[in-house]
Structure 1
Amino acid sequence: MLDLLVPIADDVRIEIPATHRRPIAIVGAGAIVDVAHLPAYKAHGLDIRGVFDLNADRAADLAQRHGLPRVYGSLDDLLADDAVEVVDVAVVPWAQPNVVRAGIAAGKHLLCQKPFAPDVATGRTLVDAAENAGLKVAVNQQLRFDEGLAAANAMVRRGWIGDPVAMSFTVDIDTDFSAWGWLVDSDRLEIMYHSIHYLDAVRAVLGDPHRVFATGARMPGQLPKGETRTVSTLVFDGEVRAVLEVNHNNRAGDARAEFRIDGTEGAIRGTLGLLYDYPHGRPDTLRVRSRSLPTDGWLTYPVTTRWIPDAFAGPMAGLLAWNATGRPAPTAACDNLRTLALVHALYQSMETGEAATLQSP
């Protein structure tokens, strides 16, 4: 049966041909750049020209450890470097729109952090500005490139479980948010900065829902201002549904981080290994059971890469391929506005206590 898995592995392998590569500079020298962006880019032989951060010492340390040739003295210096064609933006959310505007004015293609913008209207203006300038902007929604989830999506596309009818994420972990002071102070937390990953992954498989419902809560005495427990229900056309149940306050030590896709001819289930011992994690798992193959029980797909750092090459690969071939990236900002709209519809539901209709961005 293992020969069945070869085309799936081929479908999900992240490759960046030499003809697609362009010189890249990074804005932001935080932990995620250190442990995810730069290792992923190095593994694919990308040309990283340098980094800028408001904390010059942090940028210099990052550059020294990763062998980057230049530390820029300012954002203007980075954007004035004619050798740089692509800018990877890895800054706090409220700073990103201004960096994106400056990058567009300087004629750079951009890979942005999620959430792409604080609201859909701001995101729309950024997308319009990039399109008017003939520039490509994508969003670093890397979970859809995680090998386990990407393989599950490939199995769905190949019809292994028939027509998909349901998808779920169950995440029950204990998260210490104190390392991110800006997150602790955020009025919106869980869906905006965590479940946005799962919502984008659901969209990659099922498309866009038309109606949603969400409820959120805090743990008594918790440090963060925002919600740390959420349940979200997504209603799609016909009989297709998705449910996300996420808790960051597991006090029992029995962590779970699971997803499942059910179809008319079978099911796929897997785990997100990163969340069992974040940030170190463990390997993902993925199994499929199909009446159409048939798989003779649950067939294991051997996941060989990790969400961090490996999946972080995916959004950049998509942006570079878009620039080289004209084929829009899977996480192109114009499409990612729909993920952003979904996030805001869920908050609308949470605040009103009623289901919300998803508005087209």
Structure 2
Amino acid sequence: MNLAGYAISDAIALPERTDYGIGVIGCGGIVNYAHLPAYRRAGFRVVACYDQHPDAAQRTAKEHGIPQVATSIAEVLDNPEVDIVDIAVTPWAQAAIARDALAAGKHVLCQKPLADTYASAVHLVELAHARNLKLAVNQQMRWDAGIAVAKQLIDQGAVGIPADSRIETSIRTPWHMWPWMANSPRLEIMYHSIHYQDALRYLCGDPVAVSSLHARWPGQPEAGETRTLTTFIYDDDRRVAIDVNHHNWSEDAYARFRLLGNEGIIEGTLGLLYDYPTGRVDTLRYASRTAPSVWHEAALSTWWIPDAFVGPMASLMTAVQTGGEPLTSGRDNLGTLQTVFAAYRSAAEGRVVPLAEITAAAS
């Protein structure tokens, strides 16, 4: 596909070999409407599943044709057909399962956040490295069509330096779908804007500091913050802003991104957030500085759910084959977690927080 002379594609690249055995631990909603439909489309082989609620595992296995319903996590890890463990459990349970999976010699795909402390995340990364295993994090927004194509345009120089980049969402989020999440004292950034912070790191590079303001909505039932305004600060002319509200009751909801550089501009919408979890296809348009009134529209065709969920698993499989690192490796994800924990410290202490503070605390 061509856009204003630049080669773009929202197709997700698959590895040469796709028959690695996948064992899924956790059979909740997101696994059933995102992970497993994506894996089926890609031709991935899921060989086992487990859930702490046996009925959930049985239903998932029946719906998605999974041959083994394990009665314990150990049973999944002992299965010689399982090469990769896809962990999809509550965050406080994830780290221990990941450690056990790595100890069993399995490659691991974790969900975000990788861990609830930076030190715990570093430990998982070091453990995977010591065992020569691959650890990836399911930051699948990087494969969402609008973000993926924006990255391709940036890499080809279409915008020049992305000096003013932002994601702005004002939506009504159905937190009731995840009661444990709604009860978390850390909510919006830890479980939602972590995607934006990861995507903007991917598009614009790593900041040196973060500033963040957090607020609630009047009378909200959720325990944690549901409105945030976060800024990435760089050591040059780049700036990133993320402005989020999850309590927009009006009909004027929006979820959009804009990347303004010294040579061009990219604008788009995040289709998933207009009707979660069904969503719609993203939009993206581009204009150059030399012809600012001429907009070029990309004909995007893939969806965040389920299509983008192919990306992290495909990237992990590629890393297993080549000996390289997944795009969203655990080590890379430490950079995203630095921005997350810096944002919470910034909001709590009312100041700009250098990322070096977060890394120093874990050393």
So what's the TM-score if we normalise by structure 1?
Answer: 0.96
1:162 aligns to what SS in structure 2? coil
- Structure 1 residue 91 corresponds to structure 2 residue 89: yes
Please point out which of 91, 100, 103 is paired with 2:101.
103
Kept in 1: contact 2:15–2:317 (CA 8 A) = no
Give the residue type in structure 1 aligned to 2:334.
Answer: L
- Between the aligned partners of 1:51 and 1:111, the Cα distance in structure 2 is 14
Give the residue type in structure 2 aligned to 1:36.
Answer: A
- Structure 1 residue 134 corresponds to structure 2 residue 132: yes
Give the residue type in structure 2 aligned to 1:146.
Answer: D
- Between the aligned partners of 2:180 and 2:293, the Cα distance in structure 1 is 49
- Between the aligned partners of 1:143 and 1:67, the Cα distance in structure 2 is 27
- Between the aligned partners of 2:327 and 2:277, the Cα distance in structure 1 is 26
Kept in 2: contact 1:5–1:301 (CA 8 A) = no
Q: Deviations over 1:43-86 (max 9, x none)?
A: 11111102100011011001101111111110000000011110
- Structure 1 residue 8 corresponds to structure 2 residue 5: no
- Between the aligned partners of 1:35 and 1:177, the Cα distance in structure 2 is 17
- Structure 1 residue 245 corresponds to structure 2 residue 243: yes
- Between the aligned partners of 1:45 and 1:176, the Cα distance in structure 2 is 31
2:173 aligns to what SS in structure 1? coil
Kept in 1: contact 2:188–2:225 (CA 8 A) = yes
The root-mean-square deviation of aligned C-alpha atoms, in Å, is: 1.5
Kept in 1: contact 2:4–2:296 (CA 8 A) = no
1:246 aligns to what SS in structure 2? strand
1:351 alignment counterpart? 348
- Between the aligned partners of 2:3 and 2:237, the Cα distance in structure 1 is 33
Query: Unpaired runs of 5+ in structure 1?
Result: none
Q: Deviations over 1:8-44 (max 9, x none)?
A: 11xx421223425411110010110001101111111
2:33 alignment counterpart? 35
Cα deviation for residue 295 of structure 1 reads 8.0
- Between the aligned partners of 1:69 and 1:6, the Cα distance in structure 2 is 44
- Between the aligned partners of 1:4 and 1:252, the Cα distance in structure 2 is 36
Quick one: structure 1 residues 331 and 2, their matched pair in 2 at CA, closer, same or farther if it must change by over 3 Å?
closer
1:227 alignment counterpart? 225
Give structure 1 regions of 4+ aligned residues with deviation exceeding 3 angstroms: 1-6
2:82 aligns to what SS in structure 1? coil
1:286 alignment counterpart? 284
Q: How does 1:1-361 map to 2 (within 5 A)?
A: 2=2, 4=4, 7-9=7-9, 12-291=10-289, 297-359=294-356, 361=359
Cα deviation for residue 207 of structure 1 reads 1.1
Kept in 2: contact 1:21–1:320 (CA 8 A) = no
Cα deviation for residue 166 of structure 1 reads 1.6
